Structure 1
Amino acid sequence: MEADGLTNEQTEKVLQFQDLTGIEDMNVCRDVLIRHQWDLEVAFQEQLNIREGRPTMFAASTDVRAPAVLNDRFLQQVFSANMPGGRTVSRVPSGPVPRSFTGIIGYVINFVFQYFYSTLTSIVSAFVNLGGGNEARLVTDPLGDVMKFIREYYERYPEHPVFYQGTYAQALNDAKQELRFLIVYLHKDPAKNPDVESFCRNTLSARSVIDYINTHTLLWGCDVATPEGYRVMQSITVRSYPTMVMISLRANRMMIVGRFEGDCTPEELLRRLQSVTNANEVWLSQARADRLERNFTQTLRRQQDEAYEQSLLADEEKERQRQRERDAVRQAEEAVEQARRDVELRKEEIARQKIELATLVPSEPAADAVGAIAVVFKLPSGTRLERRFNQTDSVLDVYHYLFCHPDSPDEFEITTNFPKRVLFSKANLDAAGETGTAKETLTKTLQAVGLKNREVLFVNDLEA
């Protein structure tokens, strides 16, 4: 099975289906499962429907249209009651086949004449039927006609094969879909037709015939006295009763491949059925192989499409991921650039502020000026600055001086050495416009904050 391209799960389903149905050909089991999308339960139920004569899911509607059936006697195996194994009841015996050359010529001429006469009468009958007179044969309930025939047949003949419980069109569609042989049996009143009675009572009731028909074919039947039976009788050209025809798919067309006319023994009917099925099984096998190849091709194409779709989705996801990575890199670069611009803007702003605040720095008093004190500043770089201020100068004036000095950090606080006190902090400056306490602290004079002459103040870098 692995050589057929089946997975282990599909192979297991084929084996299970074979065990459940008893179908010996594993290729048939595989084909049935493929048609049902490998649904084991649905496939098994369909086989039960077929065995019980019920239409399958493919022909469930009674409005289904029947496929055209080719009826060409030159393409059919024709069997009659006059052939070996045939029999007649209350029939005038036919004359022996002549043995002389003249008699043989006459026999052949007579046979050809009868054949063409029969064909001509069938054509004339068909045109007459088309012309009218068939109002009483209008088919209004084909399924009802079939079911009525089956009920009456089962009551009259307890031993019987399984008849398909659907219309002729349904039977044709199921046979075509399931790639099975379809036997069409047209029934006529057995009370008036002894051959029909003998055929149904003795031949179709034989166990060997029943088993073969139920196993290898679909059997559809109807009484020609009903509109459905009469319509089918016209389409397959019945000349005598009992008559059965075997229909099969051949070269992608449904056609009659076998015709069984007249009564015969069960053994002879079985031989004839086997002869027709054996001669035409190759066509069904080819159809199964073609269908399997189409299904395989469709499955392969679907798998390829799914693989392509998955590959496409994967490529799209990869592209989205690459785009996200590019966006992340771009955002990071933009953030770095923005930070750089912010730093530059801040430096520019600080430079501008230093220029503006330089005008606010009070002039340095003389060393001997009254109220002048010298203050020593120790910068973070270790540089020592010394500058004189008036005791009346404010803490903010000291800040302006340090802020505008080129060696001073941009953000800083001013503290005393011991005990440590914060004379000025950036927080005080930022809050000066919001709270009165902060503003009051910055406007205090150096004398008010207790700053003495030669006192050392530390400038602490807040950005370090």
Structure 2
Amino acid sequence: MVEPQNRRSQSLSTGWLEMLALVFRALLWPLKTASNFLLPSGSYDGLSSIVAGKASRHFTDDLKSLCSPGDCEDVDIAFSKIGFAALRQEAAANHSLLFIYIYNPVHREARRFSRRLAGPEMLTFLCQDHIEAIGSSVQTSQGSTLCYQLGATSFPLLAILQPGSASSDGMKLLFRAEGRSLLMMPATQLMSLLTATYKQHSTQLIALETRRLEREQANELRRQQDEEYQQALVADQERERQKQEMKNIEEVRMREEEEKKRRETEQEEERLSTAKLLLRSEPVSGGARIRFVLPSGRKLDRRFFESDTVGALKAFLILHFSENNVGIKNIALSTNFPKKQYDDKDQTLVESGLSPQAVLMVQDLDA
């Protein structure tokens, strides 16, 4: 009998809890509705890389609207368009300072100081090596989170962080100015403080770089010694290989020259043989009397049969040049007046109009 009573007690308790939850939901529903209406979710809510990057890009776009057209490119170079978390990783990897600017867009002095950021002197400073700059509105999740982490009490806020410290977030605060003290600070004083902070960081970087270079030089010395040892081992083999390679190249060149000479000799013999076959003996009388005017100006007369071809005329000249050691290989024939070229080697002298007599100019086509 005890067990059924316990079950009834548990059932009654669960029922009261569900009823109480319904009452609370009914009471809080108007407050939730009003909150969603007055404070809707914005484009810059959340801290994802996409949302944080969007907040950074919104700042650079706003800053470019305040600067002269010639400085807009420097704004894109000086200020990052990615979120703070990603930028902090880049700064730590590159040993760069983090320049942070947080502003309240509803503050009456916000745009006046933003114009100072967009000035040539400030942009030149931020475009230096080992400086990563980011700006954000306090109305974005990224900006409000940075305000909380930096303990901001007034706006605008300028801070410079150094990566690689032993603090919990891995960043060390080197410079900070906010609110009225920042707004009233002369531009020369602000630049002097920022430059001094940068020089202090640069000095540390130089010390780190010096130690790194010393390690690299020691490693490089060992590497060079090992490399020289290996080079000494293979030097003789390389010289021998080069000698053999040059010998092989020379042998190939000589064979190619011999082959070229052989082909040229065969081609010349074939050319002369063809010419001898085309050329018939000179007729005793009649036929066509042809006078050739050679490139040297010398004149050469010969009789041909009227049925001989233009090719026979060229064959005669080929044999004549060969027998007299004249270095003319490729020739063309033409009359001087009227000007006419004779290229059809199969055309007879009668067909070519060269019978019963003609004067032909001989051109050296290779000249």
Q: TM-score, normalised by structure 2?
A: 0.41
Q: TM-score, normalised by structure 1?
A: 0.33
Structure holding more helix per residue: 2
Larger radius of gyration: 1
